[in-house]
Amino acid sequence: MKFSDRLLSTLARARSVVAFTGAGISAESGVPTFRGNQGVWSKFKPEELANIAAFMRNPELVWQWYAHRKKIIAGIQPNPGHYALAEMERFFPSFTVITQNIDNLHRRAGSKNVFELHGNIERNYCMTCRTPYTNEYVLSGDPVPRCTCGGIIRPDVVWFGEMLPEEEWEGAENACRSAGVLFSIGTSGVVYPAASLPLEAERNGAFIIEINPEPTPLTGIADEFLQGKAGEILPDLLKNIRSANKEA
């Protein structure tokens, strides 16, 4: 892809960059979307399983669903889009990934500075004492895993109707307020409050670059709309950033 001079010179000057990502950045890794539930799970809506009331009513059912999703996600790999973002960290004084995804692929690709707004499916914790537990532990024992304190263990993901984790949210907001450039990548920009973050960055003067095969409600505020796949556009952009740094 050919990038505009305006985009490249803005990036060359940028000191603080945010990459705000959604399900689309993981599409090329083959992460099935929430809505693409297969087999026995197709008769449930995610809203009916991913909430605290459903969990308290039938923890075994909700745990079966998460065991299924955890196994799928453990078997997929980060794609060139994740790897390009991880490498971009090296070229800017501040580079922050803010993701709505729970698949852990940014960290697996090597990104260090990541805020996870909706949790992480590779983590779990006790609802009583908050002790963390690995997937290995929760998937190898009882259908409803228990903590040594007797409490029920749950996946460390944000369910429908729950608040976002406070520290992650505050970190994300601060990064957006001070961002010179914000990338909005593979997100439909309709899930709130997460979708308010690019707007916040824009209000504070950030240059907004959107990467998506389709226009979204955010396209209107984007300074540049790069139409296409994250796994193709981000590696191209990284090449430009690398060669600009060699010249400097």
> Which residues carry out catalysis?
118
The site for ligand NAD, by CB under 6 A, has a size of 26
Chain CA centroid to CA 200, Å: 18
From the CB of 138, what's the least distance to Zn ion, in Å? Answer: 13
Residue 100 touches which member of Zn ion, ligand NAD, none, C-beta under 5-8 Å by kind: ligand NAD
- Considering the rule CB under 6 A, would residue 216 count as an interface residue with ligand NAD? yes
Which two three-digit tokens encode residue 233? 């556009």
Candidates 83, 187, 218, 222; binder of ligand NAD (CB under 6 A) is 187
Contact partner, 198, from Zn ion, ligand NAD, none, Cβ < 5-8 Å per class: none
Q: Which of 4, 9, 33, 128 binds Zn ion (CB under 5 A)?
A: 128
Among 151, 165, 171, 235, binds Zn ion (CB under 5 A): 151
Segment 90-119, which members bind Zn ion (CB under 5 A)?
none
Residues of this chain, 36-95, that bind ligand NAD according to CB under 6 A:
none
The partner in contact with residue 212, picked from Zn ion, ligand NAD, none with C-beta cut-offs of 5 to 8 angstroms by kind, is ligand NAD
Of positions 14, 17, 19, 31, contacts ligand NAD by CB under 6 A: 31
* Residue 46 or 171 with smaller CB distance to ligand NAD: 46
**DSSP labels for the chain?**
-PPPHHHHHHHHH-SEEEEEE-GGGGGGGTPPPGGG--GGGGGS-HHHHSSHHHHHH-HHHHHHHHHHHHHHHHT----HHHHHHHHHGGGSSEEEEEE---S-HHHHHT--SEEETTEEEEEEEETTT--EEEHHHHHHS-SS-B-TTSPBEEEEEPPTTPPPPHHHHHHHHHHHHT-SEEEEES--S-STTTTHHHHHHHHTT-EEEEEESS--TTGGG-SEEEES-HHHHHHHHHHHHHHHHHH-
Tell me which of ligand NAD, Zn ion, none is bound by residue 149, counting a contact when its beta carbon lies within the kind-specific cut-off of 5 to 8 angstroms: Zn ion
Name the residues that contact ligand NAD, by CB under 6 A.
22-24, 26-28, 31, 33-34, 100-103, 118, 186-188, 191, 211-214, 216, 229-231
